Structure 1
Amino acid sequence: MTGQNKLNEENFFTNSITHEEIQTLPLHAYKGHISVITDPVKLTRSLKEMEKAARLGFDTETRPAFVKGQRYNVALMQLATEERVWLIRLQQTGFIPALVEFLENTNVQKVGVGLRDDLNALQRLQPFSPGGFVELTQLTRQVGVEVESVKKLTGLLLGFRISKSAQTSNWEAPTLTEKQIEYAATDAWVCLQMYKKIEQRL
C-alpha cells in the first residue's frame, strides 16, 4: 500500500511511508494570506486576532549551525489558522509580554510536531510556562502512525508532499525570501490540517 492510500480497509491510517512514495505525491504549499510581523505593536494586534481562534498550527525556525558547538536562537515563530498565517520575526519584535501571555494561554490550542525542542529553544529566549500546546505525534501514535517528521506525516495524512528546501536557509536574514515565507507558512498550516484529519479518527 502506498502513502497515497491514506486509509486502509479497516479505516485506519497506514502506519508508514517511504521517501520514494512521498516523491510520487503532488507538491502543495499554503497559498492563503501571510502576515510577516516585524514590530511589537503589530505583534500585539496580531496576537489579539489569534486569541479568537480555538486552535492554531505552530512551528518555529532557527538559523542552522554548521560549526560544532555553535547554536543560534529561534528566529521565527509561525502560527496558522485556516484563513491566515502569521510569521513572527522574534529578533525584530522581541519577546514581548503579550507573546508570553499568548504562549501560556490554555484556551488557545497550538498544534505542532516536535514541540519539546521548539519550546525549550523559546524558553532560552524568555522563560514561560507553555499552555495549550498539543504534540501532534502523540495523537498520531494513537491511530497507529509510526512516522514523526512533518514531511512524512503530511504525506500519510494529507496525501501531498511539501518542499523542505528552505529549511536550512538563513532565518536571520534582514529580509525573508518568498521561498522562505512560503515554506514557513506551509509548515505551520499543515500541522493544523493534520490535526483536523486525526481528530476525525480519535
Structure 2
Amino acid sequence: MKIQINEAVEISEEHLRPYPNDEINELPIRKWEGETRVIRNKKQLEWALARMEGEELIGFDTETRPVFKKGHTPGPPNLLQLATADRVFVIQLQHVGLDKGLAKLLADPEVIKSGVAVHDDLVGLKKIYKFTPKGFVDLGQISQQLKMQTHGLRNLSANLLGFRVSKGAQCSNWARDPLSSKQIDYAATDAWISRELYVAFQKLGVF
C-alpha cells in the first residue's frame, strides 16, 4: 500500500504554529481508557494477532529499557505496542520474542502502521527478528513535509488532538516484570495516540 500525501492541502495557521511547553502544560492530560491486553506468552500472542486480522490502521510504538551509562547503547525493544480502534496490545518481547506472526503483520503493506519516529523502533525490532517493514507511516515526517512546527508525539497531540500526555514513565525500566500499572497506561497511550494522530491527519485531508 502506497500512502499518498496531499501536500497541497491547506493547513490552518493554528496547526502550523509551534506549541511551547508552557502552553502544552496548560492542556488537560488524557490517557487510553479502553481495553489493554498485556501479551506475555505465545498463546496470548496468537489470540492478539487473530484480533488484529482485517485491521487497516494500527497505532505503533515500542519501549526500550533506557541506558544511563556513557558509552553503552540501548538493547532491542522490551515492548511492542499495537493499537486498534478498540483495544491496545502491549507485547512483552522478552517473553514472546518477535516471531513470524508478528513479523508478517509488520511486513504487511496492506496494513497501515502509524507512529512517530518509527525508524529507530524498526531498527531495534530487526535486532530481534529480520523482516522488511512495510506499511509504516512516520507522522513526524508527515508534519515536517507539511511545514508544521510540531513533530514529536507530545507536541502533535497538543496540536491536533487538544490534550497532553504524561511522560512520567518514559525513562522507567521497561524490562520490569511485571510491568506497573503506570507503565502499562503510558505504553498503551502512546500506541493509541499514534493511531489517533493518523486519523486526525485524515480529517485534515492529508491522506
Give the structure-2-normalised TM-score. 0.89
Q: Is 1:20 equivalent to 2:45 in the alignment?
A: no
2:147 counterpart residue number = 144
Match of 1:44 in 2: 46
Question: 2:160 aligns to what?
Answer: 157
Aligned residues with identical type, % of pairs: 39
Q: Is 1:101 the equivalent of 2:114?
A: no
- How far apart are 1:65 and its partner, in Å? 0.2
Range with bigger deviation, 14-23 or 178-187: 14-23
* Matches of 2:109 and 2:12, distance apart in 1: 35
CA distance in 1, matches of 2:25, 2:122: 31
Q: Displacement of 1:45 after TM fit?
A: 2.1
Question: 1:15: Cα distance to partner?
Answer: 2.8
What is the aligned length?
A: 195
The amino acid that maps onto 2:159 is L
Compute the displacement of 1:94 (Å): 1.5
Residues 44 and 99 of structure 1 are in contact (CA less than 8 Å); yes or no, is this contact kept in structure 2? no
SS at match of 2:79: strand
Query: What is the distance in 2 between the residues matched to 1:130 and 1:46?
Result: 19
Query: Taking structure 1 as reference, are residues 74 and 103 closer, same or farther at Cα in structure 2, changes over 3 Å only?
Result: same
CA RMSD of aligned residues (A): 1.7
Tell me the CA shift for residue 190 of structure 1.
0.6
SS of 2:16's partner is coil
CA spacing shift, 1:41–1:152, aligned 2, 3 Å: same
Tell me, yes or no, if the aligned pair for 1:86 and 1:185 is still in contact at 8 Å: yes
Which stretches in structure 2 are left out of the alignment for 5+ residues?
Answer: 1-9
Whether contact under 8 Å (1:13, 1:144) holds in the other structure is no
Shift, 1:9, TM fit: 9.7
What is the TM-score of this pair, normalised by structure 1?
0.91
Match among 30, 33, 47 for residue 31 of structure 1:
33
Residue type of the partner of 1:109? Answer: I
Distance 1:189 1:172 in 2: 21
Q: Does 1:189 align with 2:192?
A: yes
Q: CA 1:64 to 1:9, structure 2 compared with 1: closer, same or farther past 3 Å? A: closer
Measured after TM superposition, the shift of residue 147 of structure 1 is 2.1
Contact 1:59 1:112 (8 Å CA) reproduced? yes
